[in-house]
Amino acid sequence: MTIIRRLLSTSNWKPPESYFSHSPLNYESYSRRLKGAIHYIAQNGRFTESILIDCIRANRQLQQQNWNSSPIIQKTRSRNDFLNLKLSPSNSTLEDELFSFVFNRHQERSSSPEIVRSYLITEPLPSNTARVIDVGVKGFEYSFLKQKVEPSLVFTALRLLLDRKDYQNSFKLIDSTFNCDAYKELQRHQIGRNLFGWFSYIAVATVVQAILFPLVSILALFSVNTATAGILMYGLLRLDTAENLGRISWRPYVSMLYKFTHRDELLAINTVITHFEEHNEVNIKNYHHSRVRKLSNLKLFDQDEYVLELPNDSVELASVEYSGQTFQEEKGIVELQQYFKHELNSRKMVFNDLPEELIFLEFWFTHGENFEWVEPDQDPAEIIKLDIQNQKTD
């Protein structure tokens, strides 16, 4: 340890990019390197981004070793090792050490997109929801303050929340990033800067045209140039603005400026709605597939290496019997559906009708006229066969 500190305190020595993760890597060597890094920071300042990313990689490798360790090795953690070696603690303790070192000791540098992305995507993935939101928000704010917006950071953090079926916190993440006042002001500033550029082009083009065509009125040249630039700019805004994503869309009265400043918000909310419907709802679109899969449980989620289930206090709100089986929607699913509708109404968005639902309504109202029978996505006989196999396995 003394040798490492002497090397770290030497002014001519710089830690390599693989300082934390080089072999041999265990908790004993990792803790020594971490203490040496803290001493180096106190003497010489900050680490580079590549070394912080390497610290994340090394810490997650130790967490992965905990997951892959045998039960015999796990039992030895509660005993005193005769070699006085530090056995690897739990993953939550390792994650606390990682977060404290990377994000608390390097607040200015730790919010860079590269570090945030590495923290969010390196296996095993972080399980603390509050930290996922905090890291995603800080990384997004850092990127647009540097005039280089990184929406992918938000979508990466959003994916982690959706994997845990944490839909309320998904909207909290969207409000803290795409819907924050600073980001919307940046979007308006970008539009104003583009308008200034277009008007500068119009003025220069009008002066040049007036010199080349002295017989034409300057007012006419200015009007033509303004109309041409306006049409081009409106077309570019339409190309860069999502109007209809299939599942949700803007209300008809929403202005083009509002659509442009909230375009990322629309994409993120569409991701949340689509994930919820694909994994929790039973609708016309996924009905045949839902017959051979277990109903989703919003109260079941993963935490570290454990599978946790919240108390089940829900009641049966809806049930549809078909072929002797019953589909039941949990109270939490119905409440989430109402929550989504409230959020969309407050954001000037609206649900779109599924094409499958429109076809079904047309079939219902016309009593099947002009319709013909075709094979569904999954054969009903195959559904019954799979149901029998599932009963045998149970």
Number of structural domains (the chain) is 3
Q: Average pLDDT of 177-195?
A: 83
pLDDT of residue 173: 94
Check residues 351 and 220 and name the one with the higher pLDDT.
Answer: 351
pLDDT of residue 80: 47
Q: Average pLDDT of 31-60?
A: 81
pLDDT of residue 305: 57
* Short-list 26, 31, 41, 118, CA closest to 15: 41
Residue 13 has pLDDT above 60, yes or no: no
Question: Of 198-207, 320-329, 380-389, which range is least confident?
Answer: 320-329
Q: Average pLDDT of 17-32?
A: 83
pLDDT of residue 195: 78
* Short-list 276, 274, 333, CA closest to 299: 333
Percent with pLDDT over 90 in the chain:
13
Give yes or no: residues 170 and 199 share one domain: no
Residue 72 has pLDDT above 50, yes or no: no
Question: Of 70-74, 159-163, 231-235, which range is least confident?
Answer: 70-74
Give yes or no: residues 14 and 50 share one domain: yes
Residue 313 has pLDDT above 80, yes or no: no
* Short-list 115, 63, 109, CA closest to 89: 63
Q: Choose one of 199, 227, 248: the last residue of a domain.
A: 248
Query: How far is C-alpha 190 from the geometric centre of its chain's CA atoms?
Result: 24
Q: At 161, list the tokens.
A: 């929340």
Give yes or no: residues 33 and 152 share one domain: yes
Instruction: Note whether residue 254 is domain-resident.
Output: no
Give yes or no: residues 195 and 217 share one domain: yes
pLDDT of residue 234: 74
Enter the pTM of the model.
Answer: 0.75
Q: How many CB atoms lie within 10 A of CB 73?
A: 13
- Residue 245's SS3 state is coil
Check residues 240 and 265 and name the one with the higher pLDDT.
Answer: 265
Query: With bands split at pLDDT 50, 70 and 90, how would you rate the model's confidence at 85?
Result: low
Give yes or no: residues 224 and 142 share one domain: no
pLDDT of residue 317: 34
* Short-list 164, 154, 90, CA closest to 125: 164
Instruction: Note whether residue 366 is domain-resident.
Output: yes
* Each residue's pLDDT tens digit, 133-158: 999 998 888 887 777 888 889 999 99
pLDDT of residue 169: 92
pLDDT of residue 107: 61
Percent with pLDDT over 70 in the chain:
72
* Each residue's pLDDT tens digit, 167-185: 999 999 999 999 988 888 8
- Please provide the size of the chain in residues: 394
Amino acid at 121: I
Residue 311 has pLDDT above 70, yes or no: no
Give yes or no: residues 6 and 119 share one domain: yes
Give yes or no: residues 133 and 196 share one domain: no
**Could you tell me the sign of the dihedral formed by the alpha carbons of 198, 200, 203, 206, in that order?**
negative
Burial (0-12, 13-18, 19+ Cβ within 10 Å), 198? middle
Residue partners of 197: CB distance under 8 A and separation at least 6: none
Give yes or no: residues 15 and 90 share one domain: yes
Q: Average pLDDT of 226-244?
A: 74
Give yes or no: residues 160 and 196 share one domain: no
pLDDT of residue 322: 38
CB distance 221 to 206 below 8 Å: yes
Q: DSSP state, 1?
A: -
Interior CA angle at 272 toward 266 and 276, to 5°?
A: 145
Return the HEC string of 259-324.
HHHCHHHHHHHHHHHHHHHHHCCCCCCCHHHHCCCCCCCCCEEEECCEEEECCCCCCCCEEEEECC
Residue partners of 140: CB distance under 8 A and separation at least 6: 149, 150, 151, 153, 154, 177, 183
* Short-list 295, 275, 270, 285, CA closest to 347: 270
237 lies in which domain range? 183-248
In this structure, the dihedral spanned by the alpha carbons of residues 148, 152, 153 and 156, taken in order and rounded to 10 degrees, is: 180
Query: With bands split at pLDDT 50, 70 and 90, how would you rate the model's confidence at 323?
Result: very low
Which of 5-9, 221-225, 262-266, 323-327 ranks highest by mean pLDDT? 262-266
Give yes or no: residues 158 and 15 share one domain: yes
Residue partners of 342: CB distance under 8 A and separation at least 6: none
Residue 264 has pLDDT above 80, yes or no: yes
pLDDT of residue 226: 81
Give yes or no: residues 124 and 22 share one domain: yes
Distance CA(373)–CA(375), nearest Å, equals 7
Give yes or no: residues 297 and 373 share one domain: yes
Question: Of 176-180, 230-234, 244-248, 281-285, which range is least confident?
Answer: 281-285
